[in-house]
Structure 1
Amino acid sequence: MLLIVPADPLRPRRPDPHFAPEARAAREAGHPVAVVDHDALAGAGDLARAVAAVPAAADAVYRGWMLSAAAYAGFAEALRARDVVLRTGVAQYRRAHELPGWYDAAAAITPESRWTVGAARADFDRARAELGTGPAVLRDWTKSAKHHWAEACFVPDLADADAAWRVATRLRELRDDDFTGGFVLRRFERLDAAEVRTWWVDGRCVLTGAHPDTPDALPAAPVDADLPAAVVAALGLPFVTADLARRADGVWRLVEIGDGQVSDRPSTLDASALVTALA
């Protein structure tokens, strides 16, 4: 396994400090490590130059900052030119990374959702009306602005069209060029504990730990880590994360599926454990 990580912007031959523990763990386990220029991959530079330090490999795994599906496709193509094959294909990345790709498989265990293609008010109002009334959480196809909860994430009542649109407008402003796909409205479900991030390789749950937003918080109750097993199997994805949370009524729910390559590792999850699971 070749592990590919972003380069340190100030010292481009070294791994970005955020991913350095994983790079070090891979090297200590005997796996080659290569660095790439993330800014170039994200659309701000020459892709061939961005991957120039990557050696040929039949099984490569990226662990780095989030990329759009289009940027990941360009990354994969640039690597193919160097005889490097990413374990996660372009279509697989999109399926895991964007909510419309995984939602249908997970509908029974995740909050009810509706989404738009694009950011038009008419499409937003249609999705809002389809979801009904009551509170909802707003995001785009890949990410929310949950750290701006009141102004750009939480919709107190879907029936209040103008108030809901103000939240949507603010989300669009905050996400700016990173806004992806369209709006996603998800029915609000009250949770009673911090989220748990589970890690899946080839359909198996290999690690369970805290969510990066709450690295020291794990629920007291046993985690239903098998909850998304059928979903992961149906999606046929080689490396994903599934974030779980216990609802206020005690039922475990799937919050989100994510591509494992760009899912953040909480500081409390040992880097060597993740590398071992991947290899």
Structure 2
Amino acid sequence: MKLNYVFLFLSDPLDSRIPDVEYEKEYKSASKYFSVGLINQERLFEDNVVTTTYKISNDDIIVYRGWMLKPQLYDRLVTYVEKNGGQMFTNLSEYEYTHLIPNWVKDNSNHVKTKWTIDLSDKSIIKLLEEFNGAVTIKDFVKSRKYEWNEAFYIPDVSDTKNALRVIHNFINRQGSELIGGLVIRDFIGLKI
């Protein structure tokens, strides 16, 4: 049996017949060498339903290319692929391992000091902040808000508890229901080019 690698990309949120603009070049490149298909982005994120333009068969190995998904949503994709006879290139446990920061930090291969908590009370957060000195960054188990640098990502000095809590509260509030796992604090490493 010859394996067929299929790349599934998210569709444009406004037109399910074309790839998301952020993945358009990658889609075109992949289509030169592999089978490709689209996952309806609107149905996936709004209805938690997986629909694809590609008909999956028994010899298909599916590679997902798109925005990071919550593990529950990735699990739906895995289930859909398997029910249609295919197999994911990256299974759910591999996906969770690489996408949820506590999984890949706990094996000590990470060289940046990283701590986390699922308790989002100020008391727990302050206790966590006390384990650091100087500048830190914050995120949940998957995503940050680095595009909101001073407001919801970067804390220049953890000893300024008032500002640290302001940034952390902004982050938690802005993530809302999209917050995954808990709060992660990491030493900030200033790289100069």
Question: Shorter-chain TM-score category?
Answer: 0.7 to 0.9
Q: Decide which of 2, 9, 12 is 1:5's aligned counterpart.
A: 9
Runs (4+) of structure 1 exceeding 4 A deviation are none
Which of 31, 35, 59 does residue 38 from structure 2 map onto? 35
SS in 2 for 1:150: helix
Partner of 1:110: 111
Distance 2:62 2:105 in 1: 27
- How many residue pairs end up in the alignment? 188
The 5 A counterparts of 1:122-271 are 122-129=123-130, 131-193=131-193
Say if 1:34 and 1:55, in contact at 8 Å, map to a contact too: no
1:110-148 per-position Cα deviation (integer Å, ceiling 9, x unaligned): 31011011422232122222x233221111111211222
The alignment partner of 1:184 has SS state of: strand
Give 1 or 2: higher strand fraction: 1
Q: Distance in 2 between matches of 1:151 and 1:20?
A: 31
Q: Which amino acid aligns with 1:174?
A: R
Matched, 1:25 2:25: no
Give the aligned partner of residue 259 of structure 1.
none
TM-score with structure 2 length normalisation? 0.87
Q: Distance in 1 between matches of 2:191 and 2:7?
A: 36
Percent of aligned pairs with the same amino acid: 24
Cα root mean square deviation, aligned = 2.0
Q: Structure 1 residue 109: deviation in Å?
A: 4.6
The 8 Å contact of residues 56 and 84 in structure 2, kept in 1 or not, is answered as yes
Task: Identify if the C-alpha distance between structure 1 residues 83 and 176 changes in structure 2 by more than 3 Å, giving closer, same or farther.
Answer: same
Q: Secondary structure at the match of 1:110?
A: coil
For normalisation by structure 1, the TM-score amounts to 0.62
Contact 2:16 2:41 in 1 (8 A): no
Aligned residue for 2:22, secondary structure, equals coil
Aligned residue for 2:100?
Answer: 98
CA–CA distance in structure 1, aligned partners of residues 181 and 42 of structure 2: 21
1:44-94: CA deviation from partner (whole Å, max 9, x where unpaired): 21525x236442243110111221111111111122111121110101111
- Structure 1 residues without counterparts, runs of 5 or longer: 194-279
2:79 to 77, 80, 86: 77
Relative to structure 1, the CA distance from residue 144 to residue 186 in structure 2 (aligned partners, 3 Å threshold; closer, same or farther) is: same
Distance in 1 (alpha carbons) for counterparts of 2:110 and 2:158: 22
